Structure 1
Amino acid sequence: MSAEPAPLPQELIRVKRDGARLAPREIGALVAGVASGALSDAQVGAFAMAAFLNGLDRDETVALTAAMTASGVRLDWPDVDGPVLDKHSTGGIGDAVSLLVAPAVAACGGVVPMIAGRGLGHTGGTLDKLDAIPGYVTGPNLDVFVRTVRSAGCAIVGQTAEIAPADRRLYAIRDVTATVESIPLITASILSKKLAAGLSSLVLDVKTGSGAFMATTKRAEALARSLVEVAAGAGLPAVALLTDMDEPLACVAGNALETRHAIEILAGRRSDARLMEVTLALGAEMLLLGGLAPDAASARSALEAAFASGAAAERFALMVAALGGPGDIVERPATHLAAAPIVRAVTPERDGVVSGVDARALGLAVVALGGGRTGADDAIDHAVGLAELAGVGEEVGAARPLATVHARDEADAERAAAAVRAAYRLAASGEPVRRPPLIQERIA
């Protein structure tokens, strides 16, 4: 008996375009074509748009996740000394949590093989931040990745060629086809990489607010539940936290700026309350899922001790050196990280208190400076961005700017300054301002 012929990809795209359901075999055929290159970029984009507009049900999402996981190798960690843990953020502005939480959890006994992503749309990407470190290889071969995890306890890298190659291609095409926000596609993208990494558990940071892809709490909660439920269906214990992205998480936005900011925090030379609060909350969930702490208070204390003692900084330095970066990055970040030639303060048009921020507009301002991509293959200027960003509730005026712009030239600086002013809403000085809770919900 002859084998059943493979379905034509254009017919499968038509099925989803018309709102019908795809069977697991049909989804598997599409994913195989994505991974092999048999599907053109136009066909992959068409499938992504059809899925975005008509959705994928839970079974289709599980099938897509499984097919993308199976498109490459699946790692195993039989002899590591500790639970294999990870976290993933859905993306935002000023979110350098990965650079802090991975080495801190490693210092507490976890093993963290973190497969991270690049910036999508208006958001920053962890790999773009690490690319700002000279010599750091965000795309190592599998042997180097595994060796770094074993020696440093953590490694933050992109997808190697062997891990979920179908997702790697689909991820890049989603970024430039306005299909980033699809809950099923996000779910399958995140979980396929995490399942391929051989995790024992996963913590998810799902952002909500103006700077998030899921701007409304309802959409963010739907994504969080999708991630937790599909992960559970795949045998991966997971917890999700809904966190606020109605303003930047840190006071900086931009690749080298955020990397240096994280290093200064690791070294104990700087603090950032909002960034650290999310870092500690996510890290505590990781330790709890991994059985490395008996309760949340103990987990948080262990992480705080890892930062205070320098153990987290030591793990970060080991990771950077093992992946090709300078051995003294923690001691001398300014020596190694690029700086923009133009730095300009952005003062508000009037004094007042910050009552709101369009975080997405700030992210787009960074992209316009050259710190993000408008095309899949665009080069990034790691030096540019925004620093000293004022937070909600802060008094601003001539003595306290809204931000400082780090730009390549004066024209870029002027455009960014105008974008920053437009992104901020001010109330009269002394007027009470409401700030939403930073951590809004826990979903398990």
Structure 2
Amino acid sequence: MSTDPRPVIARIRDGRGLDAAGAALIARGLADGSVSDAQAGAFAMAVLTRGAGQGGRAALTAAMRDSGDVLVWDLPGPVLDKHSTGGIGDTVSLVLAPVLAALGAYVPMISGRGLGHTGGTLDKLEAIPGYQVDISEGEFRRVVADVGCAIVSATGEIAPADRRLYAIRDESGTVESLDLITASILSKKLAAGLQGLVLDVKCGSGAFSKTPDAAEALARALVRTGTELGCPTRALITDMDQPLARAAGNALELRAAIAALRGEGGALADLSLALSARCLDLGGLTGDPSAVIASGAAAERFARMVAALGGPADLLDNPDAHLPAAPVIRAVHAVRPGHVTSIDTEALGHAVVALGGGRVQAGDRIDPRVGLADLLRIGEETRSDRPLAMVHAATEAQADRAIRAVAAAYHLGEAPKARPLILKDIAADD
């Protein structure tokens, strides 16, 4: 068995694609260190510039999935999950997982941390005192079986090839590769042993995919590859030209998720219910996601998950007693009245990072208290008594900078036409 990655790299560089044997060699070498950082960077650049082809994309995904443990479940219901490509105010996972659990599915959700302008699910959960995201596989299995859902970090044994390649892609300027994005997302999700996966592919100013064409290309690559590898997969392309929730920042987004679980409507709730319905369809389950919100069953599942993973049992009943709050809260007033016509949503994400609510580098510490709340949405009118947003900051100086950034991100004018939240629904047979 060859262990030299250079012929594999040269094959891709010369436009001859990536086969299963080459993908396995690269994934194995990434996991055990026999592929050097220089070779991994050259591999990533070759894939970015020449492409791997659909066959190579699927082969790399499978090889990275199989570079570590692949979970197998024996549960009395389907094992389902969703993944978002990242956005501002996106706390769907915290709503969807308990909704699905309340309807008979099991959701072993392996999530990540924020880096760049988008927040991470694990960072939001770690705003809950005592909540443990780093647990053993045995504990993970116990919570999923008992509660129906658990949202945690990946162990070192889940897709180790992806963990190494992910960091190298950032350093080598190859993050944008469609093939590598697909393999990265799906290798971790498929290693969790899923029987159905729904992708939320964001599109717009706050998303990785800025244009509808880019978002659709990614969505179709994900759906086709996941389905080819034995996991029924579906994707929604959704609007990220504005924050999904009215909050951005870890503790503030947790409050938004709790409000959605308590029956407060809005775009966050709407998208959570739509994605939940697609998950249920893939898993062959019937049931009404909105009904388990209205009955409190989904909120009860979330509360049980939080308690099972070390958090306070009464978080949903008394969030103010447990979630941290910023000492400085200031309003962002518009220069003049008007309707919101557009938002530089990525700029809002960067404003949260500048407040200390996100990371510039992987090791940066996060302040869970800070962020933006009461964000106006496109089409809504700002007035003297209705600011664009409220800044939650650690200091007055940080608040001043955030106020300027948020004001610059909002554009006002005549009331625009209503815009859809779901832009496209992509199934495997489309």
TM-score, normalised to structure 1's length?
0.91
Is residue 18–residue 53 contact of structure 2 (8 Å, CA) maintained in 1?
Answer: no
Is residue 226–residue 232 contact of structure 2 (8 Å, CA) maintained in 1?
Answer: yes
Residues 362-415 of structure 1, C-alpha deviations (whole Å, 9 max, x = no match): 111111212111112222222111111110011113211111111122222111
SS at match of 1:411: helix
1:118-197 equivalent positions in 2, closer than 5 A = 118-175=113-170, 178-197=173-192
C-alpha distance in structure 2 between counterparts of 1:334 and 1:180, whole Å: 39
The one of 95, 98, 109 equivalent to 2:93 is: 98
Counterpart check, 1:200 vs 2:195: yes
The one of 352, 362, 365 equivalent to 2:351 is: 365
Residue 73 of structure 2 aligns with which residue? 77
Counterpart check, 1:413 vs 2:408: no
Counterpart check, 1:245 vs 2:240: yes
C-alpha distance in structure 2 between counterparts of 1:275 and 1:176, whole Å: 33
1:224-243 equivalent positions in 2, closer than 5 A = 224-243=219-238
SS at match of 2:390: strand
Residue 89 of structure 1 aligns with which residue? 84
Residue 7 of structure 1 aligns with which residue? 4
C-alpha distance in structure 1 between counterparts of 2:83 and 2:335, whole Å: 38
C-alpha distance in structure 2 between counterparts of 1:396 and 1:341, whole Å: 25
Unaligned runs of 5+ in 1: 294-298
**Amino acid of the structure 1 residue aligned with 2:417:** R
Counterpart check, 1:287 vs 2:304: no
C-alpha distance in structure 2 between counterparts of 1:209 and 1:398, whole Å: 29
Cα displacement (A) at 1:152: 0.6
Is residue 115–residue 360 contact of structure 2 (8 Å, CA) maintained in 1?
Answer: no
C-alpha distance in structure 2 between counterparts of 1:176 and 1:97, whole Å: 29
Over 3 Å counting, the alpha-carbon distance change for 1:348 and 1:65 in structure 2 is same
Which range is displaced more, 150-159 or 114-123? 114-123
Is residue 173–residue 376 contact of structure 1 (8 Å, CA) maintained in 2?
Answer: no
Is residue 7–residue 26 contact of structure 1 (8 Å, CA) maintained in 2?
Answer: no
> How large is the RMSD of aligned CA atoms in angstroms?
1.8
Residue 261 of structure 1 aligns with which residue? 256
Residue 34 of structure 1 aligns with which residue? 30
Which range is displaced more, 242-251 or 122-131? 122-131
Over 3 Å counting, the alpha-carbon distance change for 1:49 and 1:332 in structure 2 is farther
C-alpha distance in structure 2 between counterparts of 1:368 and 1:441, whole Å: 33
Over 3 Å counting, the alpha-carbon distance change for 1:313 and 1:22 in structure 2 is same
Over 3 Å counting, the alpha-carbon distance change for 1:366 and 1:22 in structure 2 is same
Cα displacement (A) at 1:342: 1.5
Cα displacement (A) at 1:8: 4.2
Cα displacement (A) at 1:23: 3.1
Is residue 101–residue 107 contact of structure 2 (8 Å, CA) maintained in 1?
Answer: yes
Could you list the structure 1 runs, at least 4 aligned residues long, displaced by more than 6 angstroms after superposition: none
Is residue 142–residue 162 contact of structure 1 (8 Å, CA) maintained in 2?
Answer: no
Cα displacement (A) at 1:20: 5.0
Among all aligned residue pairs of Structure 1 and Structure 2, give the percentage whose two residues are the same amino acid. 58
C-alpha distance in structure 1 between counterparts of 2:90 and 2:140, whole Å: 23
Which range is displaced more, 405-414 or 34-43? 34-43
The one of 210, 220, 241 equivalent to 2:205 is: 210
Which range is displaced more, 153-162 or 34-43? 34-43
Counterpart check, 1:325 vs 2:322: no
Residue 415 of structure 2 aligns with which residue? 432
The one of 349, 369, 376 equivalent to 2:362 is: 376
C-alpha distance in structure 2 between counterparts of 1:261 and 1:89, whole Å: 17
Which range is displaced more, 102-111 or 20-29? 20-29
The one of 5, 11, 22 equivalent to 2:18 is: 22
**Amino acid of the structure 2 residue aligned with 1:193:** K
Is residue 116–residue 157 contact of structure 1 (8 Å, CA) maintained in 2?
Answer: yes
Over 3 Å counting, the alpha-carbon distance change for 1:5 and 1:237 in structure 2 is closer
C-alpha distance in structure 2 between counterparts of 1:331 and 1:318, whole Å: 12
Is residue 45–residue 173 contact of structure 1 (8 Å, CA) maintained in 2?
Answer: yes
Residue 276 of structure 1 aligns with which residue? 269
**Amino acid of the structure 2 residue aligned with 1:432:** A
Is residue 200–residue 235 contact of structure 2 (8 Å, CA) maintained in 1?
Answer: yes
Over 3 Å counting, the alpha-carbon distance change for 1:46 and 1:399 in structure 2 is farther
Cα displacement (A) at 1:208: 0.6
Over 3 Å counting, the alpha-carbon distance change for 1:180 and 1:385 in structure 2 is farther
Which range is displaced more, 334-343 or 143-152? 334-343
Over 3 Å counting, the alpha-carbon distance change for 1:266 and 1:434 in structure 2 is same
TM-score, normalised to structure 2's length?
0.94
